[in-house]
Amino acid sequence: MLESMWVGLQLVISWKVMGLMIVATFIGNFFGAVPGLGGNLALALMIPFVFGMETFPGLAFLLAMHSVVHTGGSIPGILFAIPGTGPTVATIIDGYEMTKKGQAGQAMGAQLAASAFGGVVGALVLALFIPILRPIAMTFGSAEVFMLIVFGMTFIVVISRESIPKGFVAAFMGLLLSTVGLGAHTGIGRYTFGQLWLWDGINIVTIVLGIFAFAEILSLGAKGRKAKIAQVNIEMTWAQLWEGTLAVFKEWWLSVRTAIIGCFIGIIPGLGGDAATWICYGHAVQTSKNNENFGKGDIRGVIGVETANNSKEGGSLLPTLVFGIPGSSGMAILLGAFLILGIVPGPTMITDHLDMVWGMVWVMVIANLIGAVTLYPLSRYMGMLAFIRSSLLIPCIMVLASVGAYLIRGFWQDVILALAFGLLGYGFKRWKYPRAPLILGFILGELAEDYLHKSLGVYGFAFLKRPVVLILLAMVILSLGFTIYKSYQDKKKARGAVA
Amino acid sequence: MTHKRNRFPRVIISDAVVFDWVLLIGFVVLAVFAVNYNARARSIPMALGILGTVMVSFQLIVDMFPPLRRKLGFVVESGLMADQKEESPTETDNVNSAEAGNYGGNHGKGRTEAIQEWVKILRLIIWIAAFIVLLGVTHYLIAVGLFVVLVTRIEAGESWIRSIVLAVSVNIGFFILFNLILNAQL
């Protein structure tokens, strides 16, 4: 274990990887700070460009970028009450109030230090769980992994905020799209329509770019975006920033607690970043003495939210790596990137590629530190990114997405396909069909079919009688059953209220 | 005088219903196509196609006949985290207001606005199609530059100078990031 940890560190400590991580943290902070972009879009746009890179540098680039998105995302929230990303909304409650009171520096210092602290704790919790989960993962065969995929997909749909049937529609669509091309177990091309370029199936980049990037372009183009510059004093001094930074360590027990809570929420697939930040904000309010200032500019409100915001990324990487079940939509895209880079997440990840897992832990630690440190002098200017007009953003994202879709295989048909998925993604976004289950279904579909055929080949239908499979099957039934029960209870309550 | 209640709920044909139909047709077509494959190849796509068809059908029914939502409660049931605070604008939803003149407009503010929105989307699609053609006939940096200048000037209504400055900046950024740093195979 210690040797893998050391090898992992050696993977990170190289000029190339460190340089890429610095670039990645800037890009991640940028995409976080500009409302309307966000981490998913950053990943979708950048995946094609790491295609030709070596495995670990490419992985470090994407992971570093993803790790710091919320660090940048909180800045416009604190300075102008414009959230860069969804989970940073909770930061505004106290962060913006502090800015209005002339304490922008303290709020920014606390935000940056708490983000870095949370990110590091998240990575450490991830590291802590590796030896615990390793023996469990080693007992998983093809039957267990197949059922785990089924459970993961069901759980993500059931626990999400969106409509459950719509979630299943999205998941089935993703699974169906994953069957396009020549199947390893079937020997024939499915849904290729005589097109040679479809024989290899649909590339994950094409679908991610379409569902996230092109859909956002169309949405941005249809709605437009303009934020009015708020008339607040965002002047900040180094002394204020330092004061805010120290507050994170003065409130160390709150920082540790919220970081750990955030991390554990991240581990549960489908709960999402909003749940982590709001739960931790609530926890900070409930457990703090003299909590009457929360909502009026209490620095503990910023600390509680920001530690959770970054620590949950470490947590959500855990099920992604160990079981191949992403903890969030960002992780679902990252999972696709792992496959492109030649890494198959799942139990074999911590049995065969432990050094790489440790490398990822180090990447998260270092990227969070770089992301925060570089923002100390730049935060004021990063906040102004919230006011970039959509008319200037759209052409840039359009070319980035189109070039990305073309780059991956050199087929112009892929760009057209990405555009078609963009329309589908726009429809999903507009009529509230969740997009993450579609991506997840697409990514896990091929693996699920592969493991199902292997399980049937080895055990026949008796694979359903294996103990772990039975437990997972029970969990699938329970999660669906609980949802139906909840629906019945809600209906009963509503009827009671009317009566 | 007795008021005779209409037994059949009124049919709603909204854009959401049209989208449900598109999804339904998609699932049906994919399920039907799967019939042609051998038993091993068709089992999973057929099952998924049928399941997807059933799910979308329920959605379509409640979207077309909203009063049926009460009877088909499970169709509108949200996930367990539905009570969480609404996610703010991670993406484009989260922004304050429409940008007048430049791609502007709001969702769902009447039929005219909806049509205007779709026209804007159609225009963007045409621009992307034009970019694909450009990408095929010239070097990617030339295509990117030309595309950014034209879209920024014509579609967004920015000045020529601003459009050219943006195009040059994007070109330089692309070259540094993808050719020099990432060594991408463009």
In a domain, A11, yes or no: yes
% of chain B at pLDDT higher than 70? 70
Burial class (CB in 10 A: 0-12, 13-18, 19+), A384: middle
What is the model's pLDDT at position A262?
Answer: 86
- Say what the pTM is: 0.78
In a domain, A198, yes or no: no
In a domain, A274, yes or no: yes
In a domain, A53, yes or no: yes
Closest CA to A379 of A116, A115, A113, A109: A109
Q: C-alpha distances in angstroms, B146 versus A213, A396, B1, B142, B186? A: 21, 12, 72, 6, 17
- In this complex, do A275 and B37 lie within 8 Å of one another by their Cβ atoms? no
Task: Measure in Å the smallest separation between the Cα of A395 and chain B Cα atoms.
Answer: 5
- Residue-wise pLDDT for B96-120, tens only, equals 333 333 443 444 456 777 788 888 8
- Please report the DSSP string for A359-381 in residue order: HHHHHHHHHHHHHHHHHHHHHHH
Average pLDDT over residues B51-77: 81
What is the model's pLDDT at position B54?
Answer: 93
Identify the band that residue B85 occupies on the pLDDT scale cut at 50, 70 and 90: very low
Closest CA to A354 of A61, A53, A138: A138
What is the total count of domains within chain A?
Answer: 1
In a domain, A418, yes or no: no
In a domain, A131, yes or no: yes
* Residue B53 scores a pLDDT above 50: yes
In a domain, A477, yes or no: no
φ/ψ of A302, rounded to 5, equals: -70, -45
* Residues sharing a CB contact under 8 Å with residue A332, sequence separation 6 or more, in sequence order: A326, A436, A439, A440, A443
In a domain, A484, yes or no: no
What is the model's pLDDT at position B149?
Answer: 92
Average pLDDT over residues B82-103: 40
At A182, which helix (H) or strand (E)? Answer: strand A181-182
Task: Measure in Å the smallest separation between the Cα of B154 and chain A Cα atoms.
Answer: 11
What is the model's pLDDT at position B88?
Answer: 41
Closest CA to A50 of A340, A435, A244: A340
Contact indicator for A260, A121 with CB cutoff of 8 Å: yes
Neighboring chain B residues of A165 at a CB cutoff of 8 Å: 55, 58-59, 74-75, 77
* ipTM (interface pTM): 0.79
What is the model's pLDDT at position A86?
Answer: 65
Mean pLDDT by 10 residues, chain A (499 residues): 78 87 89 77 82 83 88 80 70 83 86 89 85 77 85 75 80 92 80 85 86 85 62 75 88 89 79 73 82 82 87 84 76 82 77 83 89 83 72 82 80 88 91 84 85 87 87 87 74 68
Identify the band that residue B183 occupies on the pLDDT scale cut at 50, 70 and 90: low
Neighboring chain B residues of A452 at a CB cutoff of 8 Å: 44
Q: The domain containing residue A367 runs over which residues? A: 2-141+205-218+232-410
What is the model's pLDDT at position B14?
Answer: 81
Choice between B102 and B43, residue whose per-residue pLDDT is larger: B43
Identify the band that residue B84 occupies on the pLDDT scale cut at 50, 70 and 90: very low
- In this complex, do B37 and A89 lie within 8 Å of one another by their Cβ atoms? no
What is the model's pLDDT at position B49?
Answer: 93
- Interhelix angle A299-323/A329-340, rounded to 10 degrees, is 40
Task: Measure in Å the smallest separation between the Cα of B175 and chain A Cα atoms.
Answer: 12
